[in-house]
Chain A
Amino acid sequence: MITLAAGLRLPTNGLDYAILALYFLVVLGIGFAARRSVRTSLDFFLSGRSLPAWVTGLAFVAANLGATEILGMAATGAQYGVAVVHWYWIGAIPAMVFLGLVMMPFYYRSKVRSVPEFLLQRFDRSAHLLSSVLFAFAAVLIAGVNLYALSIVVEALLGWPQWVAIVVAGLFVLAYITIGGLSSAIYNEVLQFFVILAALIPLALLGLKRVGGWDGLTHALTTAHGGNFLTAWGGTGIGQANPLGANWLTIILGLGFVLSFGYWTTNFAEVQRALSAKNLSAARRTPLIAAFPKMFIVFLVMIPGLVAAVLVPKIGAPDGLQYNDAIPYLMQELLPNGVLGLAVTGLLAAFMAGMAANVSSFNTVFTYDIWAKYVKTGRPDAYYLRFGRLITAIGVLASIGTAFIASSFSNIMGYLQTLFSFFNVPMFVVFIIGMFWKRASMKSGVWGLLAGTTAAMVNYFWIYKQGVISIPTDQGANFVSAIVGFVAGALVMVVVTLFTEPKPQAELAGLVYGTTAPGLEEPPAEGDDAWYRKPALLGWGALVLAALCYLPYSL
């Protein structure tokens, strides 16, 4: 978990606080201004499926660009060096492209309003209920992690007591989502995206200048940590030792394939942004547009991490500066008032947006998938809209309560990915088999989910934590657990399918690869046939560009 070192208090002044206050005002203003656009539950939960692609695309990046991601990835950079690029170039881009090019047509055309609702259509109620409950639980937990992390950072940097930060940030999120719904959350995410860039770009540039440019950085780190610290793949041969504790196979399969496909293609907090796009073309372009900024954001978090590793050679030692302190430390060292206020605003905005993304997906799943399907069915739409607002408030309060769970992990990303490897891995295997294998039976969904989650947990908590098999680091163990969960889920689905009923052909139309549902084709919107809006071009372009990014760090 985040524990920032003492003595990181920032020299903020009135100018910085004015910038921060202005942002909070605009956040609330967006909520109130979006209120008049909410007439149905679909407006509240999915922005009426009517937003343009560039808005949903930037929100898709920003929903992931929470402060836990920013501080955590800078920490990973300070600790493991350039290997952090794996989380972006192989750990995000291929999955985002796959979502846009392959999976989105099934998601969007079927008009499902959530990821679990797709499972209800494709499999049965047991798979649906299980995934809904797991997701709702995880979303509140992660929202709580964000809130807790925010309070620690705010306490260290600004000196506010933790409870003040939790209450203030929690109430702001509560207000703008309850009032404006998903539109308000998405608009704030787009705004946050630009503010965090305005904060990180100056920080990365000044950091580089401080250590004598890229050459100075390379020289200092090679001297201190050896040449592999500045390469992506150095030392990742099977059997070789590297600080990441993973080899090329577990990086590609565990991180690149299972973990990241699970996260980017079935985590509803992300997919929801694409489902709120105005048509199929815009929905497919959502993750593809997001892939391009995502690819380059790694430099903005990696460089401060590396610079901190140069400036504080003992970073990570028990009683000194911690890896998570990298960005706050550079803010304190390098940023004068003004830009400093922007950076604080960017961090707070990122924390709130990360929490809001989870709350705004939690309320949708809880209302549509749990309440409206199993508790109070068949009520008029206005009832579910009212209930959605109520459960949003309850979700925020619950995440305040769960904020204290996360305290035994040294690195936030490790914590989050441990959770994702348990909940998201089996989701991905069930989706991929369900979408590509018509025969996969109705019952195979729920058993695949159970088997995958259990196998990943057993591998992590028993085989790894109890030392049955030696894996060097938590990260490495995460990657292996993900692969184990994937394989177990797939095997169990195949076996269960052999002994149980398939889903009737007619009900699979439009849900499985190679089937089409009559009447679902919509004519392309005006202008969507422009070359720069072609999903195939955007998707393959992103893949090629990500591969090119690897070159300077692999040769």
Chain B
Amino acid sequence: MANEKQRGPAMPQDEARLMARICAQDLPAFEELYRRYRPRLARFLTHLLRRPQLVEEVFNDTMMVVWSRPDSFSGASKLSTWIFAIAYRKALKASRREDEPIEDAHAHERVSPDAGPDQRVGQLRVQQALLGAIGQLSPNHRAVVDLTYFHGAGYREIAEIMDCPVDTVKTRMFHARRHLKRMLAGEFADWL
């Protein structure tokens, strides 16, 4: 997803071939794309929606659009931008449908499995604090944070995914960072 803003939407050749085959309703090609996008798209949606059932629903709906309407990808953007934009729109629609506030009830159960025993306590504390702080952000702010830090997207690409001005993306990130800094004040002191 990274490093494309200045060069235009040149698509990796293997993704172009996959999309060509998907346009011809080639199921193995679609399965490969599904498996390729599942980790990062599911992560994005999990941060955005916070509910496993909604994540699954929106992820599947997004992939159904890719499968049933591959022709709607015009090639004007990167494939990942197109897919993430579909997912973002569907996620917003799904979250509007739900009345309850979205909380991350399982945040405390998640911690990197590769941490050694001596690292786990400190890492768990940081991750819990971070997940809690991110969980208090609005979905739009969470989306910008995740797209920037995890997916390596630039502000122009995020603006395209979220269908908003670049300055709005910058502003959302500014507020999100300020919030994270406030919530993680203790951790920040240790990091310096």
Say if A and B assemble together. Answer: no
